[in-house]
A = this chain, B = another copy of it.
């Protein structure tokens, strides 16, 4: 009979190899590398397929099973000693923003994979299987919504609706996934979702707090909520030289007024509200034609549910009032709603205890960014581990983290995973 551990001499975290983990990041960063040192590896793209293929090759070298599910989530399974036990999952995502960095998402996948390797190297067997996972399309840039794979896994979204979604060029999720499977073959598990014991996700903080407070580990207690809206403004095309301003229905000026008019609603002395317009498209886009349409996106986040509700519900009335001032109309469509999601108390404690046992300076914190963990938390106890990133900069090609911080987070992760897997 295998034992759950060889004992204290075989602490899994001692076998985390900082150099290997760093090299794996550099290897992955080649897929979609940008001239400025960042990564453009959008969901289910050719670059994403190459990243998935490499992960599969690393897993194969260890003899671990690799499989994918109908939304393209990719799993690497290290078996446990109890064949009937539900697995402990850990991971994040391999897709990036169009001008993203090397660490956002990729770190969580590689930390989970490094955890599996450290366990192997240490000769540690766990009762439950531990699986590394790369969730499909966390970023939500090429395809909507973000956190697509984890949301599908947790039953938040309908699979068929997701597969029918298209990118701006008209390519569907279904078609893009088929191309990925061809380029990076993996066994396709026909059923979406399966029971899991628990979930831990490691991630760079994407904020400045750990760096500023010289903490090595952030113990995430809550992921703030998010509401996303499409705002479609409709006016009327007209000649820029001849049409008097009073006779115009100018969708662009109307949309700009909306963006500005929402600022007082979003004003917050504690600077906790996150109000962002990250996409803004106008039509027809000719210098001498008054724009007739504007399509823009609002991303609103807050840790408090009541505040999130009040602010989000305040968007449409303000946009409608602005549209009316200029004879335009507006349609406000909420397309993503994620309530603030607390991490599970025991998972949070395990992460905190693991950091403490390793002597790392740590603090509890709220996640400003959304993560796959917020969906997975609906179907299993979930926790998150943050590591510092340079100046808190993320969604930016200059995003950076140190090899040491990445390894530290992985050490905390693997010890917490072992605790979960042997409960």
Chain B interface: which of A117-125, A151-159, A392-400?
Answer: A392-400
A31 within 8 Å of B by Cβ?
A: no
Knowing A253-B260, A282-B279, A288-B299 are in contact, say whether A369-B271 is a contact too (CB < 8 A): no
A368 within 8 Å of B by Cβ?
A: yes
With both beta carbons as reference points, the residue of chain B lying nearest to A98 in the complex is identified as B284
| Contact between B279 and A287, CB atoms less than 8 A apart | yes
What sequence of 0s and 1s flags, for each residue 394-423 of chain A, a beta carbon within 8 Å of any chain B beta carbon? 111100000000000000000000000000
A276 within 8 Å of B by Cβ?
A: yes
| Contact between A370 and B241, CB atoms less than 8 A apart | yes
| Contact between B286 and A141, CB atoms less than 8 A apart | yes
A79 within 8 Å of B by Cβ?
A: no
CB distance from A202 to the nearest CB of B (A): 16
With both beta carbons as reference points, the residue of chain B lying nearest to A244 in the complex is identified as B271
14 A-B pairs whose Cβ atoms sit less than 8 Å apart in the complex: A226-B241, A228-B287, A238-B394, A239-B368, A240-B299, A240-B301, A241-B367, A241-B370, A242-B274, A242-B369, A245-B271, A257-B260, A276-B287, A280-B291
- The residue among A140, A252, A268, A273 with the most chain B CB atoms within 10 A of its own CB is A252
Q: A271 to B396, alpha carbons, bound, how many Å?
A: 44
Knowing A253-B263, A291-B278 are in contact, say whether A286-B240 is a contact too (CB < 8 A): no
* A395 CB contact (under 8 Å) in B238, B244, B279: B238
Q: A236 to B282, alpha carbons, bound, how many Å?
A: 22
Residues of A whose CB lies within 8 Å of any CB of B are 97-99, 139-141, 144, 146, 205-208, 224, 226, 228, 236-247, 250, 252-253, 255-257, 259-260, 263, 266, 268, 271, 273-282, 284-291, 297, 299, 301, 367-370, 392-397
* A242 CB contact (under 8 Å) in B141, B281, B284, B368: B368
With both beta carbons as reference points, the residue of chain B lying nearest to A248 in the complex is identified as B276
CB distance from A392 to the nearest CB of B (A): 7
| Contact between B288 and A278, CB atoms less than 8 A apart | yes
Knowing A241-B226, A275-B245 are in contact, say whether A287-B297 is a contact too (CB < 8 A): yes
CB distance from A45 to the nearest CB of B (A): 14
CB distance from A307 to the nearest CB of B (A): 15
Which residues of chain B are near A289, meaning CB under 8 Å? 97, 99, 278, 395-396
| Contact between B279 and A280, CB atoms less than 8 A apart | no
Knowing A97-B284, A259-B253, A289-B278 are in contact, say whether A206-B241 is a contact too (CB < 8 A): yes
Q: A290 to B278, alpha carbons, bound, how many Å?
A: 6
Closest 4 CB pairs of A and B: A242-B368, A240-B276, A207-B242, A241-B369
With both beta carbons as reference points, the residue of chain B lying nearest to A290 in the complex is identified as B276
